[in-house]
Structure 1
């Protein structure tokens, strides 16, 4: 039975709230206390994604990312009629989380806003590659700990250069609350392009027809008494 859109959208908003509250929130706490370290912040991102997928995937799929919604739609695994409500819910959830962080911490750590540390070209390519691998793994596995592990891995590697967003909603919320929109377009364009590339590569990797069993494998499944 299909989950009503209102429930699914609420789950997306809640999941994206959790992602932004705990992920960029960890960056804010690191800026204030220095207690977590870069790898600690990356781990918080990964653990949050793992928990959100485990809890909310049965309700909404736990996209919590417009790029993920875009990828699943391109792959024919998600209804086009639900795309806009999902993206709106994700942006609202991210924004509410960012404003909650603003109320708690002020502009400490710029609320974890994503900013390129190098050139725009470097940041664009890195965000594209990070998103590509994240969504390729999500399309081919989808297991909470696998996707969360990839998020932590990529946040550890790419965080110092781009913030390792891989998610337009994750970048939008802190940008809105902080008023810092530097190169914000990059955090939409690169993830969406990376999502499209992940769908294309996944299609190439996926078998186009059922794999034929080997003769000795087929023999094992012949019921006793039937002709071989």
Structure 2
């Protein structure tokens, strides 16, 4: 649930940019399973596994020991996203979230041909992480860490749409706009996760990520309200990506914009 790509832009700005992905994956080329693509899938697998393992793990610990509390749970989710953005963002973009991948592809910021591979890697990682947690916290210590609507399905659906819109709006801003401060992208995205989890956790569970909800549901065989956590984040993410793109008045880099203003 994070960025598109991390690297250096053509103008020397070290940050997160989509340009490198677009160069590596021209829209007219046919799909081939390359070594580079397999590395991206492995990066998504590792990053999503760590995210779900850490985030759902702290929920288990909090239920069992009551030592962390809601602020602690939110901090762990935000920190896990932040460190994975910096760890593998330059390899795969550190999406860790099928809704993010679909949203980027919907506005032509990510190749559609790579979407299925990313989604399989993310869902597999979330399922493996959930299975690992259930194995570790066995017996009386095992607790369902998936998402079920605390109130009505509609209430949770609307909340998931809004908070994922907000999250994807921030991701698109720092990941695709060269004028943004790319070095702080991980901090911005992680902080957004933290804020959303703090106030929306008691209302909807603050999933914002279909893989995070599907993985535990498969392992615990509990599917009540799961559609909310698939549909809501997907709609919100697509809306957030298109929402920011509607504000983007140019695709030029920061140096190109500055140069143009100086020549006027």
TM over 0.5: yes
Pick from 52, 63, 69: which aligns with 1:20?
A: 52
Change (3 A) 1:109 1:130: farther
Cα displacement (A) at 1:93? 0.4
Q: For the Cα contact (< 8 Å) 2:146–2:217, is it kept in 1?
A: yes
1:133-187: CA deviation from partner (whole Å, max 9, x where unpaired)? 0011000014001000000110111111211000000001111111111110111
- Tell me what 1:168 maps to: 210
Please tell me the root mean square deviation across aligned C-alpha atoms, in Å. Answer: 2.1
- Aligned equivalent of 2:235, options 179, 193, 215: 193
Q: Which runs of 5+ in 2 are unaligned?
A: 1-19, 25-34, 176-184
Q: How much does 1:208 deviate?
A: 4.3
CA contact (8 A) 2:134 2:142 kept: no
CA contact (8 A) 1:69 1:83 kept: yes
Distance 1:213 1:44 in 2: 39
- Identify if the C-alpha distance between structure 1 residues 208 and 28 changes in structure 2 by more than 3 Å, giving closer, same or farther: same
Q: 1:115 maps to what in 2?
A: 148
Greater share of residues in helix? 1
Deviation string for 1:96-118 (max 9, x for gaps)?
00000000113746332111111
Which residue is 2:159 aligned to? 126
How does the TM-score come out when normalised to structure 2? 0.78
State the secondary structure of the residue aligned to 2:147. Answer: coil
In structure 1, runs of 5+ residues without a counterpart are 220-228
1:215/1:53 Cα in 2 relative to 1: closer, same or farther (>3 Å)? closer
State TM-score, norm by structure 1: 0.90
